[in-house]
Amino acid sequence: MRINLIFNKYIPDYKKALEIIEQALLSYNVEFETFDLEKMEYFGDITFVIGGDGTLLRAARFYAKENVPVLGINVGRLGFLAQAGVGEIKGVIEAVQDGRYCIEDRIMLQSGEYIALNDFVIKGCNPSRTSKFFLEINGKFVCDYIADGLIISTPTGSTAYGLSAGGPVLHPELDAIVIVPVCPHTLNARPLVVPSGEHITVKTSDELLSVSIDGFVTTKCVEKTSVKLASDKAKLVFLKKDNFYSVLRNKLHWGVSPEG
């Protein structure tokens, strides 16, 4: 087993976490190379990512090109996609060595040269005002929204910004795309779930659009943007201790009754 070990230098205390994990890998005689998130390379056949969900998303997009699976070790906040904390690293190494894990293929979206594992968020270039968005699917007009923005999300991203904006939770194995308006100025705008093969185009009538990718990269302002299914799939490593529904309960408190 050869491991790409990725760290994010912008995460507080990353050096301490990196040292603990490197020492653990050495103690198990695991061959690995360490890379800064901004200087990732291909070395191993599996990738450990130290950071939060944003760090994992970026690494997963990069390693998807070569079908290298990615496992998250959380030192961020929620860590919804992460499988363990730094203190559990020895158990993670043993599980990976023993094959006690599974790899899930997750669909991604593409807009021009950009790839998103979670979502594309489309807003007007003037953040202080709402915009009018025109939605087309497969070249045909669907509807228009006066809203703060539109979220076009994968099932993986349905538990991120789309969920906060009132969108549905999709099981990650579904081949579907979610379109969620952000703060629409109407009572009848609802999220829309469409097949993953649909080509989605968003235009505006009064200004240019900004597009963010997985919450981090922002493109230059454009007149319209189109989103479709990406050809590559991200490969995420999950230990066999949890399933999707238990993660929803434990990390998002989904379906948990309020205490008296």
Q: All domains of the chain, ordered by start, with CATH? A: 2-99 (3.40.50.10330), 109-231 (2.60.200.30)
pLDDT of residue 218 exceeding 80 = yes
> Can you give the pLDDT at residue 260?
54
CA neighbours closer than 13 Å in the CB half-sphere of residue 223: 0
Task: Yes or no: say if 22 and 3 are a contact pair by the CB < 8 Å rule.
Answer: no
Give residue 217's pLDDT band: very low, low, confident or very high (50, 70, 90).
confident
| Eight-state DSSP code of residue 30 | -
Output phi, psi for 234, to 5 deg.
-75, 150
* pLDDT (0 to 100) of residue 241: 65
If DSSP codes are grouped into helix, strand and coil, which group holds residue 51? strand
Q: What confidence category does residue 259 fall into, taking pLDDT thresholds of 50, 70 and 90?
A: low
Q: What is the pTM of this model?
A: 0.92
Chain segment 80-136, per-residue pLDDT in tens: 788 888 889 999 999 999 999 999 999 999 999 999 999 999 999 987 889 999 999
Assign 164 a pLDDT band (cuts: 50, 70, 90): very high
Residues annotated as part of the active site:
53
Distances (CA, A) of 152 to 80, 107, 165, 229: 19, 13, 12, 11
